[in-house]
Amino acid sequence: MSGRHLLVLAVGVMAISWSAPLIRLADPTPALMLAAFRLSVAAPPMVVLAAGTRRDEFTKLSRRDLLLLTLSGLALAGHFATWVASVQRTSVVTSVVLVTMQPLFVGFGAWIALRERPSNDVIAGAVIAMFGALMLAGDDLGDRGSLEGDVLALLGGVLSGVYLVAGRGARARVSTVTYGAIVFSVAAVALIASVVLAGTEVTGFTSSVYVYALLFGLVPHLVGHNAFNWALGSLPAAVVAIAILGEPVGATVLTAIVLDEVPSGLEWLGAGIVLAGVWVALRRARAPSAAVREPVEL
């Protein structure tokens, strides 16, 4: 791995690590509004790029591919809506670590949807991570709001797994650019519609709240997402996925510095066990061929 790769991965980890702190800084912005901001910022550049370079690909999409991409986009919308709400209710380290269990949900989701049996490493990693997750949840048993946040984080991880498994069904035939343009657009439209239907308040906040909401879309997604997708072009997917495990550490450090929120000893222990489980699941993962490399979910 070259110094250039290390630099890009470091930039990517730092960028996505700002997600949770920015959610907290944007308080009291509603979760749906923040999620809609993020996808509304992410979708337009992909649409413009796809329209300029992959226009012919849109006309060749099958009905099945469109269905899978739509499902992937709806799952992505649900992922961000639940995870943002989670960060607003529970500790940053708990929320970020629980949603980082996504690779485990992908492994078992692929077993159900694609008949791909999870490896022994994935099964062992899931068992280890579950112990850590129970430890994190146990630390929140006395606080109903925090426990709700834990459940929302797990649901966000499950929906992220659905996003990746559904998208994987179309990725062998659809480029990353077209994939991103369609999936991000579906997610953005779904979240904006949810904001309207739910009557979510989008005005009346201070200017700093809107700045943080905009940064939530720009820094973690456009910088972090693109850094990892660039790395996927020349590094094994497992290496990139393991690098993303740096997010809980980065998010926790940034939150401690910016918001003075320091995890308890039990949270540190539970978080370490969860991340160890995810690492076990990923350590011998094979890199997919260049034609079917999947974009990383951040």
At 266 the pLDDT is 82
Q: How far apart are the first and last CA of the chain?
A: 22
3-state secondary structure (DSSP) of residue 100 = coil
CA 208 to chain CA mean position, Å: 24
At 145 the pLDDT is 67
Average pLDDT of the chain, as a whole number: 83
At 216 the pLDDT is 92
- Whole-angstrom Cα distance, residue 78 to residue 156? 7
- Whole-angstrom Cα distance, residue 275 to residue 293? 23
At 292 the pLDDT is 44
- Whole-angstrom Cα distance, residue 71 to residue 64? 11
Domain that holds residue 45: 3-292
Q: Tell me, yes or no, whether 252 lies in a domain.
A: yes
At 290 the pLDDT is 43
At 284 the pLDDT is 64
Q: Tell me, yes or no, whether 213 lies in a domain.
A: yes
Query: CA angle, 68 as apex, 63 and 73 as ends, to 5°?
Result: 125
Q: Tell me, yes or no, whether 90 lies in a domain.
A: yes
Instruction: With beta carbons less than 8 A apart as the criterion, state whether 11 and 227 touch.
Output: yes
Instruction: With beta carbons less than 8 A apart as the criterion, state whether 278 and 125 touch.
Output: yes
At 217 the pLDDT is 87
Name the strand (E) or helix (H) holding 273.
Answer: helix 265-282
Q: Tell me, yes or no, whether 298 lies in a domain.
A: no
- Whole-angstrom Cα distance, residue 185 to residue 141? 38
Q: pLDDT tens track of the chain, all 298 residues?
A: 678 888 988 898 899 999 999 999 998 889 999 999 999 998 999 899 999 988 888 888 899 999 999 999 999 999 999 999 999 998 888 888 888 777 676 666 667 766 667 778 878 887 887 788 777 766 655 566 688 998 999 999 889 888 877 877 777 788 878 888 999 999 999 999 999 999 998 988 999 999 999 999 899 988 887 788 777 667 766 667 777 778 888 888 899 899 998 888 888 888 888 888 878 876 765 544 444 445 544 4
Q: Tell me, yes or no, whether 104 lies in a domain.
A: yes
- Whole-angstrom Cα distance, residue 22 to residue 131? 29
Backbone angles phi, psi at 61, to 5 degrees: -70, 135
Q: Tell me, yes or no, whether 201 lies in a domain.
A: yes
Structure tokens, 48: 């413009």
At 127 the pLDDT is 83
Number of domains into which the chain is organized: 1
Instruction: With beta carbons less than 8 A apart as the criterion, state whether 95 and 153 touch.
Output: yes
CA 87 to chain CA mean position, Å: 13
Q: Tell me, yes or no, whether 297 lies in a domain.
A: no
Q: Tell me, yes or no, whether 97 lies in a domain.
A: yes
pLDDT digits (tens, 9 = 90+) for 50-69: 999 888 888 888 999 999 99
- Whole-angstrom Cα distance, residue 78 to residue 124? 28
Structure tokens, 17: 């690590």
